[in-house]
């Protein structure tokens, strides 16, 4: 810890916090977003309205699904997994960047995480909430989904622990729980700040209950630091294992195009790639709408873009490796699986994904691209589209044309596939903008530690 | 500025924190108890029948063997409910004017079946075979209880899969010699488990793995 302040003191071209901030102004700026009595900005109103509208669409889609059954989706043999699992993997992947920022970057002592970790963790939670919808909804009998949990029952049976779909249940539910705990533990000091700053009684009471009597004593802080380091230590293997388990859903299958050993790291890299894209897609509009450029600086965008590029290159490497092993295996089915992707029914999706995930991230080598928020925003959207297509191609292209030519078919999405997907985007926006309005989107106390005042004291100590 | 929370919040907080553990545990226990209770399984409840047929009278009192009426129990998967004709074997002469038996006579006159209420009703995704159990030495009493003491028939067991599996996993605890299959109040001549193990070998009862595989019952 001794040399840490020196790192910050180094004159950097871009700071992780704009000069001139004090403890008071940092707190003012972040708390004002939540505690302000004024009507929230148009940006919030608009985004929340879109989110709420799409959420209603989601409820409609789920209602129709429960009444009519899975047949309203385009799932037909041979492609019995399509948009449902594509969206599941996409959302789980997006969630991973939040944990990477809050846990892995904490373990690596990366202080630039401090002002983006709170909303990144919220993003994780809400993305996992959206992801969690699909494994349940895509069951033919979703009301029996509790059979996936091992509990004493009158049938004297338990789930088959050899199935990665059962591991998914544990992976995703553990991931959601640990993320929620980590996020909440990190929120407590800030909830105490809001409690102390709130003026109306209801707000005081609500934040007071949630802050659980946080007084910020040295003991509290010592316990807090230990707890958050432990949670970071727990969350780090979780990030890697959860998406690994998600990738097992495919690698354990014997479908050509699925049965590969490099899926676990490749999926995790893809998760972080798409997750950072979502972080950027949220951070860039947020900071300009709320004038937070001093806290979420260009340096943050630059760093996030670099991580995005690094993981994007790993993903690109995986595509090349996939094509190579397809050819190198000498297996006609493996070769055909790759060939089908490139030239078959889904060739447009495949080449779009190559453009989004292999070619596009290379633009991030250039400082000019990384320093322009507008371009970065566009790029993050490109990445999100690319990573959705990646999962779609892996799942649907592999299933549509596999070993037996008599069982080849083409998947056609129905309006309900689209509505459910848009609906989860609505759920995400709805939850996220509730979070923006009700909780501090930037960790106040962690940003305070970045200030020069905080460093001076550490030097003296 | 006044305090936000009154002093009593301390107690309230402790109760909610520690209470949550007990409340959640208790809720789980209650759900499990309810799902296995007689209320949920309808076990031990007498159900109304068109004719108040008494097994206690016919079996316990008159000593009729089970197979006199339930003729197919040794040969068929379904142990039949006797047709009206079986009733009329005796009741054309005995109690032939009893108002209680009028539905039986009416059925005989009109050729319309008596609408008995089924007491042991398994879901249709369960394939249950009576004859195999009878032929492997599972007594009526094991599953249906002391029918000879039932004025109105009750479902003696829970009918839940858990209950079936206790026997399929350890049949030696329940099997008896074939000649005593319909005997009510059978007592093993010695140690049940010892006799049971011999009978399991003698009757070539399959191992627990086979007996508890899905395709045994859920065909």
Task: Output the six-digit token pair for A214.
Answer: 């946080």
CA atoms within 13 A on the CB side of A49: 7
Q: For the residues A190-200, what does the mean pLDDT come to?
A: 91
Q: Which of A396, A131, A120 is nearest to A278 (CA)?
A: A120
With a cut of 90, say whether residue B5 has pLDDT above it: no
Tokens of A349: 């999706």
3-state SS track over chain A: CCCHHHHHHCCCCCCCCCCCCCHHHHHHHHHHHHHCCCCCCHHHHHHHHHHHHHHHHHHHHHHHHHHHCHHHCCCECCECCCHHHHHHHHHHHHHHHHHHHHHHHHHCCCHHHCCCHHHHHHHHHHHHHHHHHHHHHCCCCHHHHHHHCCCCCCCCCCCCCCCHHHHHHHHHHHHHHHHHHHHHHHHHHHHHHHHHHCCCHHHHHHHHHHHCCCCCCHHHHHHHHHHHHHHHHHHHHHHHHHHHHHHHHHHCCCCCCCCCCCHHHHHHHHHHHHHHHHHHHHHHHHHHHCCCCCCCCHHHHHHHHHHHHHHHHHHHHHHHHHHHHHHHCCCHHHHHHHHHHHHCCCHHHHHHHHHHHHHHHHHHHCHHHHCCHHHHHHHHHHHHHHHHHHHHHHHHHHHHCCCCHHHCCCCCCCHHHHHHHHHHHHHHHHHHHHHHHHCCCCCHHHHHCCCHHHHHHHHHC
Alpha carbon distances (Å) from B15 to B18, B19, B128: 5, 5, 50
Q: Which percentage of chain A shows pLDDT scores above 90? A: 78
Nearest CA in chain A to B5: A205
B64 Rama class: left (phi>0) / alpha (psi -120 to 50) / beta: beta
Mean pLDDT taken over chain A: 90
Q: From CA B3, how far away is CA B182, in angstroms rounded?
A: 77
Q: Which of B4, B37, B162 to mutate to test the interface with A (most CBs of A within 10 A)?
A: B4
Q: What is the mean pLDDT of residues A74-81?
A: 92
From chain B, the residues in CB contact with A199 under 8 A are none
Give A201 to chain B, closest Cα distance, Å. Answer: 8
Give me the pLDDT at residue B3, please: 83
Q: Which of B219, B200, B63 is nearest to B138 (CA)?
A: B200
Helices A164-197 + A201-211 axis angle, to 10: 130
B82-121 per-position pLDDT tens digit = 999 999 999 999 998 999 999 999 999 999 999 999 999 9
**DSSP 3-state of B138:** coil
CATH numbers and ranges of domains, chain A: 23-451 (1.20.1630.10)
Nearest to B162 among A155, A195, A204 (CB): A155
Mean pLDDT value of segment A123-145: 95
User: CB of A160 within 8 Å of any CB in chain B?
Assistant: no
Q: Can you give the pLDDT at residue A13?
A: 46
Q: Which are the contacts of A450, defined by CB distance < 8 A and separation ≥ 6?
A: A8, A16, A17, A111, A114, A115
Helix (H/G/I), strand (E/B), else coil: B74 = helix
Beta-carbon separation of B160 and A155 below 8 A: yes
Per-residue pLDDT averaged across A103-119, rounded? 90
Residue A461 pLDDT > 60, yes or no? no
**Lookup: tokens for A107:** 């373990």
Residue A1 — pLDDT band, cuts 50, 70, 90?
very low
The whole-angstrom separation of Cα A305 and Cα B128 is 64
Residue A14 banded pLDDT, cuts 50, 70, 90: low
- pLDDT score, position B162: 92
Which residues in chain A are contacts of B10 at CB distance < 8 A?
none
pLDDT confidence tier of residue B35, bands split at 50, 70 and 90: confident
**Measured between alpha carbons, how far is B137 from B204 in angstroms, rounded to an integer?**
11
Residue A459 has pLDDT above 70, yes or no: no
Q: What pLDDT is recorded for position B15?
A: 87
> In A, residues 326-355, which contact B (CB 8 Å cutoff)?
none
Cβ within 8 Å, pair B162-A204: no
ipTM of the complex: 0.84
More confident residue, A461 or A109: A109
Chain B residues near residue A147 by CB distance under 8 angstroms:
none
Length of chain B: 219
Which residue among B4, B158, B160 places its CB closest to the CB of A205?
Answer: B4
Q: Is the dihedral of CA B208, B211, B214, B217 positive or negative?
A: negative
* Predicted local confidence at residue A274, as pLDDT: 94
Instruction: Find, in chain A, the residue whose alpha carbon is nearest to that of B165.
Output: A156
Q: What are the DSSP E strand ranges found in B38-116?
A: none
CA distance linking residue B120 with residue B155, whole number of Å: 6
CB interface of A with B, residues 165-204, below 8 Å: 195, 201, 204
Q: What is the pLDDT of residue B40?
A: 85
- Among all residues of chain B, which has the CA nearest to that of A200? B4
Contact B162 A153 (CB under 8 A): yes
Residue in the structure block whose two tokens are 């409820």: A59
Nearest to A26 by CA among A460, A457, A452, A444: A444
The mean of the pLDDT values for chain B is: 91
| Residue B96 to chain A, least CA–CA distance (Å) | 46
Chain A to chain B Cβ contacts (< 8 Å): 23
- First-to-last CA distance in chain A? 11
The predicted pLDDT at position A12 comes to 45
In degrees to the nearest 10, what's the CA dihedral of A352, A357, A362, A367? Answer: 110
CA A199 to chain centre: 34
Phi, psi of B46 (to 5 degrees): -75, 140
Residue B162 Cα, gap to closest chain A Cα (Å): 5
Q: Which residues of B touch A (CB under 8 A)?
A: 4-5, 32, 35-36, 158, 160-162, 165
Given a contact cutoff of 8 angstroms between Cβ atoms, the answer to whether A103 and A182 are in contact is yes
Q: Is the peptide bond before A278 cis (omega within 30 degrees of 0)?
A: no
Radius of gyration of chain A from Cα atoms? Answer: 23
Contact A154 B35 (CB under 8 A): yes
Residue-wise pLDDT for B148-182, tens only, equals 999 999 999 988 999 999 999 999 999 999 999 99
Give which of A155, A156, A193, A194 to mutate to test B binding, by max B Cβ within 10 Å.
A156
Is the pLDDT at A460 greater than 60? The verdict is no
């Amino acid at each position: 810890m001794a040399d840490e302040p020196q790192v910050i003191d180094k004159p950097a071209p871009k700071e992780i916090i704009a000069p001139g901030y004090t403890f008071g102004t940092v707190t003012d700026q972040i708390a004002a977003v939540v505690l302000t009595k004024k009507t929230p900005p148009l940006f919030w109103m608009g985004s929340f309205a879109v989110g709420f509208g799409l959420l209603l669409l989601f409820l409609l889609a789920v209602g129709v699904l429960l009444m009519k059954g899975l047949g309203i989706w385009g799932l037909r043999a041979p492609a019995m997994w399509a948009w449902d699992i594509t969206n599941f993997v996409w959302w789980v992947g997006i969630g991973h960047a939040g944990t990477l920022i809050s846990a892995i970057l904490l373990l690596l002592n990366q202080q630039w995480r401090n002002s983006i970790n709170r909303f990144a963790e919220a993003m994780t939670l809400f993305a996992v909430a959206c992801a969690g919808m699909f494994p349940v909804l895509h069951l033919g009998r979703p009301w029996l989904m509790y059979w996936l949990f091992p509990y004493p029952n009158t049938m004297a049976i338990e789930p088959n622990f050899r199935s990665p779909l059962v591991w998914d249940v544990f992976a995703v539910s553990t991931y959601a729980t640990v993320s929620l705990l980590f996020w909440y533990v990190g929120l407590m000091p800030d909830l105490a700040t809001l409690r102390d700053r709130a003026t109306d009684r209801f707000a005081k009471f609500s934040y007071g209950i949630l802050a659980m009597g946080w007084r910020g004593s040295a003991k509290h802080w010592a316990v807090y630091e230990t707890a958050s380091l432990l949670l970071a230590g727990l969350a780090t293997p979780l990030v890697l294992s959860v998406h690994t388990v998600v990738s097992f859903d495919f690698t354990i299958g014997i479908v050509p195009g699925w049965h590969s050993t490099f899926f676990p790291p490749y999926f995790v890299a893809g998760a972080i790639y798409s997750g950072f894209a979502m972080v950027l897609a949220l951070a860039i509009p947020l900071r300009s709408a709320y004038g937070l450029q001093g806290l979420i600086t260009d340096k943050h965008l630059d760093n996030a873009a670099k991580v995005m590029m690094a993981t994007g290159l790993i993903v690109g490497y995986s595509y090349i490796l996939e094509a190579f092993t397809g050819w190198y295996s000498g297996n006609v089915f493996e070769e055909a699986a790759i060939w089908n992707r490139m030239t078959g029914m889904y060739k447009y999706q495949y080449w779009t994904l190559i453009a989004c995930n292999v070619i596009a991230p290379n633009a991030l080598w250039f400082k000019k691209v990384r320093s322009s928020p507008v371009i970065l925003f566009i790029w993050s959207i490109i990445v999100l589209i690319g990573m959705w297509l990646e999962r779609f191609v892996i799942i649907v292209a592999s299933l549509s044309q596999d070993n037996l030519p008599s069982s080849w078919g083409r998947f056609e999405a129905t309006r309900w596939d689209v509505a459910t997907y848009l609906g989860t985007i609505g759920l995400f926006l709805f939850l996220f903008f509730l979070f923006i309005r009700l909780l501090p989107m930037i960790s106040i106390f962690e940003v305070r530690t970045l200030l020069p005042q905080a460093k001076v004291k550490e030097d003296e100590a | 500025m006044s305090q936000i929370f009154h002093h009593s919040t301390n107690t309230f907080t402790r109760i909610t924190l520690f209470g949550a553990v007990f409340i959640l545990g208790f809720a789980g226990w209650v759900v499990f108890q309810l799902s296995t209770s007689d209320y949920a399984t309808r076990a031990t409840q007498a159900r109304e029948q068109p004719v108040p047929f008494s097994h206690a009278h016919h079996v316990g009192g008159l000593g009729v063997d089970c197979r006199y009426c339930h003729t197919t129990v040794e040969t068929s998967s379904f142990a039949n409910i006797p047709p009206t004709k079986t009733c009329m074997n005796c009741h054309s002469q005995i109690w032939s004017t009893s108002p209680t038996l009028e539905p039986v006579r009416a059925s005989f006159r009109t050729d319309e079946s008596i609408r008995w209420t089924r007491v042991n009703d398994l879901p249709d995704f369960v394939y249950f075979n009576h004859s195999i159990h009878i032929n492997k030495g599972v007594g009526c009493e094991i599953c249906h209880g002391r029918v000879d003491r039932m004025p109105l028939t009750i479902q003696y067991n829970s009918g839940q899969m858990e209950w079936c599996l206790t026997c399929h996993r350890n049949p030696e605890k329940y099997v008896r010699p074939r000649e005593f299959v319909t005997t009510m109040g059978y007592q093993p001549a010695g140690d049940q488990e010892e006799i049971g193990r011999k009978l399991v070998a003698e009757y070539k009862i399959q191992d627990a793995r086979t007996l508890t595989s899905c395709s045994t019952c859920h065909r």
